Structure 1
Amino acid sequence: MGEAEFPIQVDQPPRDGITNMHYHPTDPNLLIVSSWDQTLRVYDTATGNAKDTCTFNSPVMDCGFMDKYHVVTGGLDGSVNVVDMNNKKQTTLGSHKEGTRNVCWDAAHGCVYSGSWDKTLQLWDVRSASNTTVELGAKVFSMDLKGHLLGLALSDRHACIYDTRKMDKPWLSTKTSLRHMLKCIRFMPDGSGYASSSIEGRVYLEWFGQPENETKHISFKLHRYNLDETEVVYPVNALAFHPTYNTFASGGSDGAVFTWDTSSYKRIRQYVRFNEEVAHLDVNADGSQLAVACSYTFDEGERPHAPDAIYIRNLSPTDFAPRQS
């Protein structure tokens, strides 16, 4: 299965549902993983060895590096925390009324952004210990930060983009052509646009800077199969862009990982399918590794499922480079 193409498997993976994972923004071999098992785990992806673990009082729904030793987390209990991995000290910045689904660290502004199921976005200034609340009117399902742009995938199927220099209203709010629940939003590395995915086996791409009323966007089908003349559709749980090629990978509940050309919308590569759902993906800062988190997302309700696993592939240009026409 897909494990053969991803020869590095991390040891001591989470025990109860991987909620997110992110590479360090500059260290290409440092990966952080959050989980329903109330842990935050750090791995050396060159070897697959576990480096550190921090335990919380609530499931950890998201995480992100602030620097090499400090991490921001969001909890199911609504908490937003900063963790010093040297001594495991946890400092709570504040909390939401419901679970904190996503967190992002903005080093340029010294600010943590947290998106919640309570339909708010919170801005936590770690220098002044102040915070600002932005009412969204919909739950946050996914979040990404690129430069001064903050992207949110919301429960009303809107992709909402904020300029972090002016947070009084969205810079762009688009009701995507996706007809069902959004799963993931990720910015293109060159800042030209973003991609969002949904449970309906589709990805929506939108580019910025187009003339008014002429926004360039497209959606296309993926992670779908014909079985006995019936189309079987799987959620697209995860997206991850390559920092050099501006192409992206998709991971779905079919256990498959594909890479795609953003400009032609054509598939670059398909890996052999994994034994369990692909819940999260990430490409490291220098584009040399792809991490795949296999973790059951309960799309099919309660069923027997494989233990959580995280696989690492050392990439070559054929993995993500656009095909020559």
Structure 2
Amino acid sequence: MADQELVSPPFDSVSAVRFSPHDPSHLLVSSWDTTVRFYDVTKNEQRAKFDHRAAVLTTCWSDANHGFSGGLDTSVRELDLETERVSHLGQHSDAISSMNWAREQNALVTGSWDRTIRFWDPRAANQEQATHKLPERIYHTDLVSNILVVAMASRLFHIYDVRKMDAPAQTRESSLKFMTRALACMADGQGYATGSVEGRIAVEYFDPSAAAQEKKYAFKCHRQTIDDVDHVWPVNSLAFNPKFNTFASAGSDGTVSIWDHKSKKRLRQYPKYNAPVPSVAFNCDGTKLAVGVSYTWEEGEEGAKTAGRPAVWIKTVGDEVKPKGWTGS
């Protein structure tokens, strides 16, 4: 498979890679180097760079020309990708850890360590539309249709209908024993997958019926036996392919794997990268996978001394992301 390394990568660890929902060539990359970079991956060029006051932890898109970003400086920013103008929408009281665009509501949804989910309308004069308090720090959110999944500290999960945010539709505890490190909703809207720091992935379904809940399961991954010693790495990122509903997992072992959650099989493990993989994302037509590669601080300052420079790779994917026996077009 063709792998292409993007020019002008961030200078510090990659926090998130996010493809445009409209253009399969357009990619946003947020970083601990206090920037968000906008790339055209087909032309392999950096089209814009947005500077922030502190590390950027998350970014997302609304339409073809606008993105958003947030991080340790607690500011919610809108990025105009054409004019390179940055607008300040508002503030959380602690780091912003996640954001998603709710298309039907024309609203940005942000989650923070300040234990709130906030809704923003970039077109309105009073841009903060609503604040919802949650019981714990928010680590990850993802949105499919009108279903918002919120992963929190203490292994808590809330599932909301964004049209009715007064109370969660479901409250769950993680199926995994340790801290949630990754979350992604299935492309078909049936459920979600989560990853944790101890090299495990759980596949969950929204339908609360006993029959649907019997289908959920968890499995070990991103592990290796070296000299008879089991090494376990965190699962840092998960991403579902929008066409085939298979998913990619990325770990601190430097590997990316493709999984078919229905057959409970790994379809492919790609060649190992030379550093951990903190974030992966499929583009909107499912033909490319962006892979952020950078040091993730599991080995502290010692490890940082020998860490290579960050990189973003674009992988053209093929039949390995199709479920076995796929008969669709």
Do Structure 1 and Structure 2 share a fold, with TM-score over 0.5? Answer: yes
In structure 1, how many angstroms separate the alpha carbons of the residues matched to 2:188 and 2:278?
A: 25
Q: Which has the higher mean CA deviation after the structures are superposed, 213-222 or 231-240?
A: 213-222
Aligned ranges 1:22-37 → 2 under 5 Å: 22-37=18-33
Amino acid at match of 2:122: V
Q: Which has the higher mean CA deviation after the structures are superposed, 199-208 or 129-138?
A: 129-138
Equivalent residues of 2:146, 2:161 under 8 A apart: yes
Tell me the equivalent position of 1:323.
324
Q: Specify the SS of the correspondent of 1:156.
A: helix
Equivalent residues of 1:72, 1:105 under 8 A apart: no
- Report Cα offsets for 1:9-37 as digits up to 9, x if no partner: 10000101111110000100100011111
Q: Which has the higher mean CA deviation after the structures are superposed, 55-64 or 184-193?
A: 55-64
Aligned ranges 1:1-325 → 2 under 5 Å: 5-128=1-124, 129=126, 130-212=128-210, 215=213, 216-302=215-301, 303=303, 304-317=306-319, 319-324=320-325
TM (norm. structure 2) is 0.93
Q: Specify the SS of the correspondent of 2:9.
A: coil
Q: 1:278 to 1:25 in 2, by over 3 A?
A: same
Amino acid at match of 2:82: N
Post-superposition shift, 1:229? 2.6
Equivalent residues of 1:58, 1:77 under 8 A apart: yes
Post-superposition shift, 1:324? 4.5
State how many pairs are aligned: 320
Equivalent residues of 2:34, 2:54 under 8 A apart: yes
In structure 2, how many angstroms separate the alpha carbons of the residues matched to 1:272 and 1:235?
A: 18
Equivalent residues of 1:8, 1:47 under 8 A apart: no
In structure 2, how many angstroms separate the alpha carbons of the residues matched to 1:44 and 1:294?
A: 18
Post-superposition shift, 1:212? 4.9
Equivalent residues of 2:22, 2:63 under 8 A apart: no
* RMSD over aligned Cα atoms: 1.6
In structure 2, how many angstroms separate the alpha carbons of the residues matched to 1:114 and 1:210?
A: 26
- Report Cα offsets for 1:288-309 as digits up to 9, x if no partner: 1011100111111121211110
Post-superposition shift, 1:63? 0.9
In structure 2, how many angstroms separate the alpha carbons of the residues matched to 1:173 and 1:78?
A: 27
Post-superposition shift, 1:208? 2.2
Post-superposition shift, 1:275? 0.4
Structure 1 unaligned spans of 5+: none
TM (norm. structure 1) is 0.94
